[in-house]
Homo-oligomer: A and B are copies of this chain.
């Protein structure tokens, strides 16, 4: 039985992870649940799974929660309690399913406590890939990717020698605006952006999927997870989202992972690795399968991908700048303060204006994250 902690239990990945646990009750014990502020859902989760520790990062949400009593459950609140939740004794694996840059500190803390990481928080690797990978090596912990694409790479690489990787073929649905040009995208609404054709996800990542920023974050994530060069990562648009990614080896052979679009599958694989257990997901039926198509991404229209390669290749604090500017821009877009294409301008302005520091420490990254957010906020104020 694996003892797990879920950081970000009320989000899209967190709730689906708990569904995985529900389907395989013999396999897991939930030791820790932590979330931000969704009291009602969190209280129901605590009631059902009875973790030893339950943490809400938001103080006022924590106050509401602490009015209830859960037999045998310790309740805590605040940002530091959330970070400390990553370090509880008697936990084998920590699922980092919180959203955004806030995932970095708890992830590093869990690694330093020798816990394996089921990594759903991609910003952790984007912002601090070198720190995180080095730390995982130092403490001998496994990083098990939960993203469907990186989970696909991980599965394709089982039993293979990673030195024989020629290329990682990172598939992308292309999002709701595939085939559109800049002129078509000037006035797209938040609702249009949130109507993703194949995946049902949280809001932030759905906007990132439409802008291809998400695919850019995944490029950087793949670079750190598999130690390849950026020119070995090729994004392939695949609108059906059946092939979740592929690896080309140096003999020309390509290994691909395919499945229905159900995040419970990569979550379960990461949590049960190296075992494969039955999962209640729809099976693919190749006798009734629609055609699978592949095409080149349009990085002139969807500049998010181009920015990510630039940020990744330059390295240092630039991926942090890229990510922080995007988080602020997406937030402003979701609040209808800026237009969809403005997201690219915010990122571009931050990436060209902020000075890049190489070999940043965690403190450097935390400082740059704060500074870029302020910079992006100010830029948005000026253009609105």
Contact = CB atoms under 8 A, between A and B. Distances in A.
B291 A252 contact: no
A278 B163 CA distance: 12
A219 to B, nearest CB: 15
A252 B161 contact: no
Contacts of A265: 251-253
A159 B161 contact: no
In this complex, the member of A155, A159, A252 whose beta carbon has the largest number of chain B beta carbons within 10 angstroms is: A252
Contact of A159 (B159, B166, B287): B159
Interface in A124-173: 155-161, 164, 166, 169
A292 B292 contact: yes
B275 A155 contact: no
Given A161-B275, A286-B169, A251 B234 contact: no
Given A283-B248, A294-B289, A161 B276 contact: yes
B155 A252 contact: no
Counting chain A residues whose Cβ lies within 8 A of the other chain, the interface size class is 35 or more
A253 B259 contact: yes
A254 B156 CA distance: 10
A203 to B, nearest CB: 27
Interface in A309-332: none
B286 A294 contact: yes
**How many identical subunits does the complex contain?**
2
B159 A276 contact: no
Contact of A284 (B155, B254, B276, B282): B254
A199 B252 CA distance: 17
Contact of A278 (B156, B160, B251, B296): B251
A379 interface: no
Interface in A265-312: 265, 268-269, 275-279, 281-284, 286-287, 289, 291-296
A236 interface: yes
Interface string A87-112: 00000000000000000000000000
A259 B268 contact: no
A289 B296 CA distance: 10
A234 to B, nearest CB: 7
Contact of A256 (B249, B250, B258): B258
Contacts of A248: 283-284
A285 to B, nearest CB: 9
Interface of A: 155-161, 164, 166, 169, 234, 236, 243, 246, 248-260, 262, 265, 268-269, 275-279, 281-284, 286-287, 289, 291-296
9 contacts: A161-B275, A234-B286, A252-B262, A252-B283, A253-B258, A254-B257, A291-B291, A291-B293, A292-B293
